């Protein structure tokens, strides 16, 4: 991708994000209405889809497929991240009028963290291709942990938060630290996940930025959905495990290992990856809504 394309893209995305952040700061003492949240969420999803489709016109069809695979995966992880934000803000009893500012700072910190992780991941890949073994194993481990922790519906303060609270930190500061540490953990998941789908730096950066766009508004929409999408964690775990295996297979191929015990190591194509991600999320959503409808008590908590 040319420098001109990079510059214009980053300038445009920065302007959009700056406008959103400015509006959030101006309205920081007022809760976001449901109508505004719906409108902004649809707007950001629409421009992401429009951008992804345009890639196939002025770039390549592969870039388009890679963007959608990366954006859908990162957006799903961001969705899960917001669920944790809801638990944190509810557990700490952060005032409604302060939630806007907490979310704003949290999303900005997530942008910087992912940028740093992308740069670090690219450097590792360029110098040591076997790092894909680590990335793959880490994603598989994360998937297992997600399944193990899927039954937990409470968020508890760790030692760091207890320490700063005992030092006299306000609830607002404790919430910021909690969300910042959560962002670090999610960055560890999201960056290996997208590297498992594309090595194109332009696609990686834009998919991550678009995945973070509109999260502040989305937060005010998903409070009720959190109890309805009961299988979201399992769906994300399945996707991360799949991408982890894909990374391990690619790492083996890079090392010249094409067979294990006489069995050929498969190379998973981008089309298969994109299809798998869409199908898993679709099935997860349908099963979640079916169970929520069948068992109304799961949404009453």
Which residue would you say has higher pLDDT here, 130 or 74? 74
Angle at alpha carbon of residue 57, lines to 56 and 60, rounded to 5°: 45
Check whether 155 has a pLDDT greater than 60: no
Domain tally for the chain?
Answer: 1
CA distance 180 to 167: 18
CA distance 190 to 301: 30
What is the mean predicted confidence (pLDDT) over 274-296?
A: 78
More confident residue, 152 or 218: 218
Q: What's the confidence (pLDDT) of residue 89? A: 72
pLDDT of the residue at 49: 92
Q: Is the pLDDT of residue 101 over 70?
A: yes
- Rounded Cα distance between 211 and 199, Å, is 17
- Across residues 173-179, what is the average pLDDT? 76
- pLDDT of 255 > 70? The answer is no
Query: Count of alpha carbons within 13 Å of 102, Cβ hemisphere only?
Result: 27
What confidence tens digit (pLDDT) does each residue in 39-84 have? 888 888 899 999 989 988 888 888 888 899 888 888 877 776 776 7
Mean pLDDT of the chain: 75
Between residues 141 and 32, the one the model is more confident about: 141
Distance CA 3, CA 143 (A): 37
Domain that holds residue 174: 3-299
Whether 224 has a pLDDT exceeding 80, the answer reads: no
Summarize pLDDT for 193-213 with one digit per residue, the tens.
777 778 888 888 888 888 878
CA distance linking residue 55 with residue 77, whole number of Å: 23
Rounded CA-CA distance 61/245 in Å is 25
Q: What is the pLDDT of residue 298?
A: 47
Q: How much is the pLDDT for 299?
A: 46
Q: Is the pLDDT of residue 153 over 60?
A: no
The mean pLDDT value for 5-13 works out to: 86
| Average pLDDT of the segment spanning 105-127 | 74
pLDDT confidence band for 225 (50 / 70 / 90):
low
Local confidence band at 254 (pLDDT 50, 70, 90 cut-offs): low
| β-bridge partners, 259 | 264
**Least confident among 140-154, 241-255, 276-290:** 140-154
Sign of CA dihedral 212, 177, 184, 9: positive
Q: What is the largest CA-CA distance in the chain?
A: 64
> 3-state SS of the chain: helix, strand, coil percent to 5?
80, 0, 20
pLDDT of amino acid 300: 45
């Amino acid at each position: 991708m040319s420098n001109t394309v990079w510059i214009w893209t980053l300038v445009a995305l920065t302007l959009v994000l700056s406008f959103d952040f400015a509006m959030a700061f101006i309205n920081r003492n007022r809760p976001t209405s449901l109508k505004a949240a719906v409108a902004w969420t649809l707007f950001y999803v629409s421009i992401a889809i429009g951008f992804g489709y345009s890639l196939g016109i002025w770039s390549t069809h592969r870039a388009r497929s890679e963007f959608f695979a990366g954006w859908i995966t990162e957006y799903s992880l961001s969705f899960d991240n917001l669920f944790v934000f809801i638990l944190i803000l509810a557990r700490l009893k952060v005032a409604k009028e302060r939630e806007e500012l907490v979310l704003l700072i949290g999303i900005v910190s997530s942008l910087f963290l992912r940028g740093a992780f992308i740069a670090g991941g690219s450097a590792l890949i360029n110098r040591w291709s076997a790092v894909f073994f680590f990335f793959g194993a880490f994603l598989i481990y994360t998937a297992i942990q997600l399944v193990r922790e899927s039954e937990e519906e409470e968020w508890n303060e760790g030692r760091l938060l207890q320490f700063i609270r005992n030092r006299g930190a306000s609830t607002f500061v404790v919430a910021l630290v909690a969300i910042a540490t959560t962002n670090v953990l999610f960055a560890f998941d999201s960056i290996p996940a997208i590297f498992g789908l594309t090595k194109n730096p332009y696609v990686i950066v834009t998919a991550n930025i678009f995945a973070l766009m509109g999260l502040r508004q989305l937060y005010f929409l998903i409070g009720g959905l959190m109890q309805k999408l009961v299988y979201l964690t399992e769906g994300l775990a399945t996707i991360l495990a799949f991408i982890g295996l894909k990374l391990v297979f690619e790492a083996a191929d890079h090392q010249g290992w094409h067979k294990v015990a006489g069995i050929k190591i498969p190379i998973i194509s981008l089309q298969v990856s994109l299809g798998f991600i869409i199908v898993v999320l679709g099935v997860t959503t349908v099963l979640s809504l079916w169970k929520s409808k069948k068992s109304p008590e799961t949404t009453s908590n």
